[in-house]
Amino acid sequence: MDRNLAMEVVRVTEMAAIASARLMGRGNKNESDQAAVDAMRRAFDSLNIDGTVVIGEGERDEAPMLYIGEKVGRRAEGDPGVDIALDPLEGTNLCAYGRPGSISVVAMSSRGGLLNAPDTYMEKLAVGPRARGAIDLRKSPTENLRAVAEKMKVYVEDLTVVVLDRERHQDLIKEVRAAGARIRLIEDGDVAGAIATCFEGTGVDVLMGIGGAPEGVISAAAIRATGGDMQGRLVPRNQGEIDRAKKMGITDMSKIYTAEELAHGEVMFAATGVTSGDFLKGVRFFGGGCETHSVVMRSKTSTVRFIQSLHKFDKKPGYAAI
């Protein structure tokens, strides 16, 4: 995968973001998500890759496109073979109700680089580069917060922890508060929450809690590219999810995965803001066009590029039709 491909992938997330942003605030999350899926699928057709979706919208019988196992890209002779993890609209409710933090994301690796995570839950712990090496899922939240604070040379009271606002996190929230750290509760979008730990200006230091396993793999790709740290452990909800994980080659449900195990080798990550969040602005429409804000990262060079793009619909008819 060359560096030019990283820039091409941004066009994929831009188109998905623009399509879903058209429907922001209309209260229909399924419609917003479908618009993003349709636009992203079309955009993939322009990429010079032989791509396979390993984390997508679900199994083939559940999703008509961008399903797990689907082939995307031009797939011409000589095109690089890549595995793809994607979420055309991460934070569907956030977009549907005009709330901050929804993004369109794509992670890409060479063949076999991304864990084929089953559609189940994953316990996650993520930090930025300053706290790399300080986290351990085998330890309690309090112990982890103290270790992170020590590594960052701050007080626990200075830390801000992002947690999904879910009933299952009541005990976690109580412990984090008792330890003295601050909490930012989010409604959806723990990929954005995990990535935010890697950027100083967001004010986010740690991500804790249980979210989707596929989103954990996508987060790991970005965290690897920025030099952050992450651990994840699958939390199946029933025997059916355990059986599905085994079918995908995962036999040890108690295994703690590092970021490098979730997304190893050379990886790329791209995201475009749909609604404004901690590190990306949302799509802004104006007469005859729109403005997008994106980020693209490569683990090979640890390069992080923020891209502000102006799209003129008379020059890009396909964008105007989104």
Q: How many CA atoms lie within 13 A of 30 on its CB side?
A: 1
- 201 or 156: which carries more pLDDT confidence? 156
Q: With 70 as the cut, is the pLDDT of residue 317 above it? A: no
Position 114 scores a pLDDT of 95
Identify the band that residue 128 occupies on the pLDDT scale cut at 50, 70 and 90: very high
Taking only the tens place, the pLDDT of each residue in 59-76 is 766 778 999 899 999 999
For the chain, give the mean pLDDT: 93
∠ CA 39-22-202, rounded to 5°? 90
Contacts by 145-150 with C-beta closer than 8 Å and gap 24+? 145/176, 145/179, 145/180, 145/181, 145/206, 146/179, 148/205, 148/206
Neighbours of 313 (CB within 10 A): 17
pLDDT digits 0-9 by tens, 134-185: 999 999 999 999 999 999 999 999 999 999 999 999 999 999 999 999 999 9
Confidence grade of residue 118 (pLDDT, cut at 50, 70, 90): confident
The burial class, CB within 10 Å (0-12 / 13-18 / 19+), for 157 is exposed
Q: pTM above 0.85?
A: yes
Q: How confident is the model at residue 117 (pLDDT cuts 50, 70, 90)?
A: confident
For the stretch 275-298, pLDDT in tens is 999 899 999 999 999 999 999 999
Q: Over pLDDT 90: what percentage of the chain?
A: 83
pLDDT tens digits, 87-96: 999 999 999 9
